[in-house]
Amino acid sequence: MSDIYDVITIGGGPAGLICAITAVTGIPIYSSGRFKGLVIEGSEIGAFAKYGKLRVTHRWFFMGHKVMDFLKTDAMESGLILKEHEKVINVDLKSDIKTVETDSGVYKSKKVAICTGFFPHGNMSKYMKYIRVMFSPIELEATFLPQEAHIAVLGCSVETAELALKLKDIRPDVNSLVIIEDKLTEEEMETYKELHIHYGTMKINGEKDDKTLEIILADMAGKEIEKKHYENILVDYNSYTLKTGVTDFLKDRGIMLKKGYIKVDNEGNTGIPGVVAAGNIVTPVSGVVTALSTGFTAGLNLHTQLYREYYNETPLLFPWLPLGDPSRHPLNS
């Protein structure tokens, strides 16, 4: 059994790390983990969360890279194994011993936590000087683009095309390719025919020089078509909040999905014993605060399950649950 982990966490962002840490250590007063855990991240640990802010109020916030550095340090101190740049391609979750297959190996565990987030291009984080994630109105985003810039606009809905059309009106000097990772209706395609649109996906192939990125365009089936070079990529982040393909590896695996999002109960349970989910993939309210909250809850759930299986008693959960026994709380009686 030495090659079987107690818990595998898929996703190394805020939700994934706090979930994994809590699952192996319990309440955060212990530094070393009691259980054996693995975290698998498709890009780098922290990904986009490192480049933003954990905002609590308009005045009170923490820089994302500091939050992720603290979590990564605690994860390593707890004994977690962290694997970066491994893409999960298949899972078997219904057996007592779960199997997670990546493009680099096969891993087994007793429990699994799914904390993928919803944005499918986490590998972009290493090229942030070229990337603008659009949270502001397009009128403002347009002011940041250089004169006669060559850019790509990336999204997955008709709203992405609408943003690109507005950009064309505001900045006619900008030469843009619109990459839409979903199908539009024939009527919608007709509406936006004046745009240069690629229907399919893309991946970054690296820097061509100090000013441009090389990207590889692929069709809807993933077949590579051609290489292009752009100075910037504008990401219509909001378009992925209504539909995501990041959990496609879970299709027909017993997880209840709604347009890629995972349905869970208030402890992160997915309906499959020993499998939880947390973070922005389980809630319509996106952000680091909600990711940490749901990740902690799901991790504590897994820790409780593991502790009972190993020691046949409930672990110490005070002060988060009175007397360490959730069943004695008034809300559960």
> How many domains does the chain contain in total?
2
Rounded distance, CA 207 to CA 209, Å? 5
Are 208 and 221 members of one domain?
A: yes
Phi, psi of 107 (to 5 degrees): -125, 150
Phi, psi of 176 (to 5 degrees): -130, 145
pLDDT digits (tens, 9 = 90+) for 158-186: 999 999 999 999 999 999 999 999 889 99
Are 201 and 271 members of one domain?
A: no
What pLDDT score does 289 carry? 85
Task: Provide the whole-model pTM.
Answer: 0.87
Q: Are strands 232-235 and 131-133 parallel, antiparallel or unpaired?
A: parallel
Domain end: 241, 264, 293, which one?
241
pLDDT digits (tens, 9 = 90+) for 217-255: 999 988 999 999 999 999 998 888 877 888 888 988 889
What pLDDT score does 60 carry? 84
Residue type, 55: R
Q: Are strands 232-235 and 150-155 parallel, antiparallel or unpaired?
A: parallel
pLDDT digits (tens, 9 = 90+) for 199-208: 999 999 999 8
Tokens representing 261 are 């999002």
The tally of CA atoms less than 13 A away on the side-chain side of residue 269 is 11
Tokens representing 163 are 């943003």
pLDDT digits (tens, 9 = 90+) for 18-68: 999 999 998 776 677 889 999 999 999 988 888 777 777 878 888 888 999
Are 231 and 248 members of one domain?
A: no
Structure confidence at residue 318 as a pLDDT band (50, 70, 90): low
Whether the CB-CB separation of 173 and 252 falls below 8 Å is answered with no
What pLDDT score does 281 carry? 92
Are 177 and 264 members of one domain?
A: no
Residue 159 sits in which domain range? 123-241
Structure confidence at residue 333 as a pLDDT band (50, 70, 90): low
Over residues 145-162, mean pLDDT: 93
Structure confidence at residue 193 as a pLDDT band (50, 70, 90): very high
Over residues 137-162, mean pLDDT: 92
Are 284 and 313 members of one domain?
A: yes
Show Cβ contacts of residue 143 under 8 Å, excluding neighbours closer than 6 positions.
Answer: none
Domain end: 241, 267, 285, which one?
241
What pLDDT score does 331 carry? 63
Are 112 and 141 members of one domain?
A: no
The tally of CA atoms less than 13 A away on the side-chain side of residue 164 is 30
Are 169 and 63 members of one domain?
A: no
What is the pLDDT of the chain when averaged over all its residues? 89
Structure confidence at residue 13 as a pLDDT band (50, 70, 90): very high
Are 230 and 293 members of one domain?
A: no
Structure confidence at residue 8 as a pLDDT band (50, 70, 90): very high
Are 164 and 17 members of one domain?
A: no
120 has a pLDDT exceeding 80: yes
What pLDDT score does 316 carry? 75
Over residues 65-94, mean pLDDT: 94
Q: Provide the CATH number for the domain around residue 110.
A: 3.50.50.60
Over residues 272-300, mean pLDDT: 91
Q: Are strands 201-207 and 213-218 parallel, antiparallel or unpaired?
A: antiparallel
Are 176 and 232 members of one domain?
A: yes
Are 129 and 212 members of one domain?
A: yes
Over residues 120-127, mean pLDDT: 83
Rounded distance, CA 212 to CA 229, Å? 6
Domain end: 173, 207, 241, which one?
241
Structure confidence at residue 122 as a pLDDT band (50, 70, 90): confident
Structure confidence at residue 328 as a pLDDT band (50, 70, 90): low
What pLDDT score does 1 carry? 44
Are 76 and 145 members of one domain?
A: no
